[in-house]
Amino acid sequence: MDAKDSARVEPSGLESGESGEDRPKEPASHGVRFWGIIAALCLLSFISALDVAIVTTALPTITRQIGGETEYIWIADSFVLASSVLQPLLGQLADIIGRRLPLIASAALFAVGSGVAGGASNVAMLIAGRTVQGVGAGGLYVLLDIICCDLVPLRERGKYLGILLSWAGIGAAIGPGVGGALAEKDWRWIFYLNIPICGVALGIILAFMRVKTGQKGSYKFRQIDYLGNLIFIPSITAFLLGLFMGGVSYPWSSWHVVLPLVLGAVGWAAFHLQQHFTSTPSIPSRLFANRTSATAYFLTFLSSTIVQMIGYFMPVYFQAVQATTVLDSGTYYLPFAFGTLAFAVVSGALLSHFGAYRPLHAASFALSAVGFGLFTLLTDQSPKVMWAWFELIASMGTGAILSVLLPAVMAALPESDVAAASAAYCFIRTFGYIWGVTIASLVFNAQFNRNLGVISDPTLRDMLKDGAAYAFASQAHAAKEILLGTNPGIWSEILSVYIKSLNTIWWVGLGISVLGFFCVGLERGLELRRTLETEYGIDESKS
């Protein structure tokens, strides 16, 4: 253990000369309040993931009915933007006023935003509703992890984080099917569905969540990092707007994209400089001062990137190469979706049992690399049993890592850093998701344009260039029937370009997985604390 790691980690487990009877132990069982809080967290985890998956599938239908096809990017990305930029501030607020009120406010905002979006009569109202939803979801993302960490010792967190992630995984898995079905009937229920589920979760929170609020006193509001947030929020907003518009609204070389990216990057660097010198940082520099936590944060970014690459482009493989319908592509994606959540639970349980995160990290990235390598073998002739097993293998890697990263981040940090460390973890994870889509889209579009010469029909070349191939995939099922009846050779040409372009993404994912595997070697195998010392745990004095 290096000096920086050992300086942060708290003693735990069996020390030299300590008898087995003196070894700190976790409580033998948890009470009704504990399981009530866990149930509420699971519901909120489920609904926040379900919403993203449902809306992604149904958005084309929604925009056709309400208008706003030209504002498609803002309808889709207003939620992501709003959920990202406030996460550090929300983590700091959780330390100042406790966890309960921010959680209630976040769930309420998510429900209110859902109501506004569901009742939208125009695109501006829909974007406003999605923005309010995003603010609420951003709070949920941060607070679910923080509260879970408050309830159990570090050694046990992987198990319970795995439970929360499994509910999120179920939401993400069934979202496309539910979204497609509701879009055909009445798209407004895609949003209205969130309200009763949030209501049940809020009822459980009010009934069971009696927790400590930390140190009291209004003076604590002086500890809010006002300057840091004034720098961070507009900087990240500018940077994300550049990413969202690049290659979609404007070319990447356009000043509309370059300017916000540059301003955002400069502001982001200024924020981290300010964090180093301020006495009330929202993302303290000490979170990255030891190599174990810093590496775990980097692994969080890499793992989020690769899982999003698969999530966005496996459906493209099914729709464009296998020529399935959009609904069938969601069904074919289920082995990966359910495999991911199952292996998240398994790895969390293994971490709680053995207390070793490095082997799990290494195995996860190794399996992810194998999965991406197998994806390069997929063609239009690949049978179901082949791609289903390949999805399961890839899900072992991308799923097993999910529940064992935050405990590694916290291994070298004191319990007092739970909120700040979790907020930073959530933001980096979200940022990784965004980059997963951005990197994969850039690679796919560039490779598709490079191989367009294979397609002999100039009209089709114009239809598929500059990113249009992604949208065309959803129409490939109908296009195949037409082309096979008129010019079968053209369909083969289109298939070959899709396969080559997708293979490039799989090779990039393999490279990122290998990078993650070798980065695991930078972590220290620190012992995970078996005792819980927190100012925010369950308040046993309140009935």
| Local structure of residue 99 (DSSP, 8 states) | S
User: pLDDT at position 439, please?
Assistant: 87
User: pLDDT at position 540, please?
Assistant: 66
The predicted model gives 136-156 an average pLDDT of 90
Instruction: Kindly report the backbone phi and psi dihedral angles of residue 163, in degrees, each rounded to the nearest multiple of 5, phi listed first.
Output: -65, -45
Of 147-156, 186-195, 354-363, 464-473, give the range with the top mean pLDDT.
354-363
CA torsion sign for 50, 53, 57, 59 is positive
CA dist 403 and 159 (Å) reads: 7
% of the chain residues with pLDDT over 90:
37
Q: How many residues does the chain have?
A: 543
For 353, residues 6+ apart whose C-beta sits below 8 A from its C-beta are none
User: pLDDT at position 24, please?
Assistant: 43
| Structure confidence by residue, pLDDT tens digits, 343-371 | 999 999 999 989 899 999 999 999 999 99
CB 109 within 8 A of CB 136: yes
Q: Is the pLDDT of residue 340 over 70?
A: yes
The predicted model gives 246-264 an average pLDDT of 87
The predicted model gives 279-291 an average pLDDT of 90
CA dist 288 and 303 (Å) reads: 18
CATH topology for the 29-213 domain: Growth Hormone; Chain: A; (1.20.1250)
Closest CA to 161 of 185, 176, 180, 141: 141
Q: Is the pLDDT of residue 22 over 70?
A: no
The predicted model gives 472-488 an average pLDDT of 71
DSSP 35-97: HHHHHHHHHHHHHHHHHHHHHHHHHHHHHHHH--GGGHHHHHHHHHHHHHHTHHHHHHHHHHH
User: pLDDT at position 484, please?
Assistant: 65
CA dist 74 and 124 (Å) reads: 10
Question: Within 13 Å and on the Cβ side, how many CA atoms surround 103?
Answer: 28
User: pLDDT at position 216, please?
Assistant: 55
Q: Is the pLDDT of residue 173 over 60?
A: yes
Per-residue burial over 356-390, b if 16 or more Cβ lie within 10 Å, else e, is ebbebbbbbbbbbbbbbbbbbebebebeeeebeeb
Closest CA to 146 of 207, 105, 88: 88
| Structure confidence by residue, pLDDT tens digits, 421-479 | 999 999 999 889 888 888 888 888 888 888 888 888 788 888 887 777 777 777 777 77
User: pLDDT at position 383, please?
Assistant: 92
Q: Which CATH architecture has domain 286-525?
A: Up-down Bundle (1.20)
For 44, residues 6+ apart whose C-beta sits below 8 A from its C-beta are 103, 107, 140, 144, 198, 201
User: pLDDT at position 190, please?
Assistant: 86
Domain borders along the chain are 29-213, 225-281, 286-525
User: pLDDT at position 12, please?
Assistant: 41
Q: Is the pLDDT of residue 418 over 80?
A: yes
CB 107 within 8 A of CB 56: no
The predicted model gives 505-511 an average pLDDT of 95
CA dist 119 and 531 (Å) reads: 48
Q: Is the pLDDT of residue 151 over 50?
A: yes
Residue type (1 letter), 60: P
User: pLDDT at position 428, please?
Assistant: 92
| Structure confidence by residue, pLDDT tens digits, 124-142 | 898 899 999 999 999 999 9
For 183, residues 6+ apart whose C-beta sits below 8 A from its C-beta are 57, 58, 61, 62, 190
User: CB neighbours (10 Å) of residue 518?
Assistant: 10
User: pLDDT at position 543, please?
Assistant: 53
% of the chain residues with pLDDT over 70:
90
Query: What confidence tier does 219 reach under pLDDT thresholds 50, 70, 90?
Result: low
CA dist 373 and 510 (Å) reads: 6
Mean pLDDT of the chain: 84
Rg (CA), the chain: 24
User: pLDDT at position 218, please?
Assistant: 52
Q: Is the pLDDT of residue 516 over 90?
A: yes
User: pLDDT at position 542, please?
Assistant: 61
Residue type (1 letter), 116: V
Same fold for the pair 29-213 and 286-525: yes
Q: Is the pLDDT of residue 19 over 70?
A: no
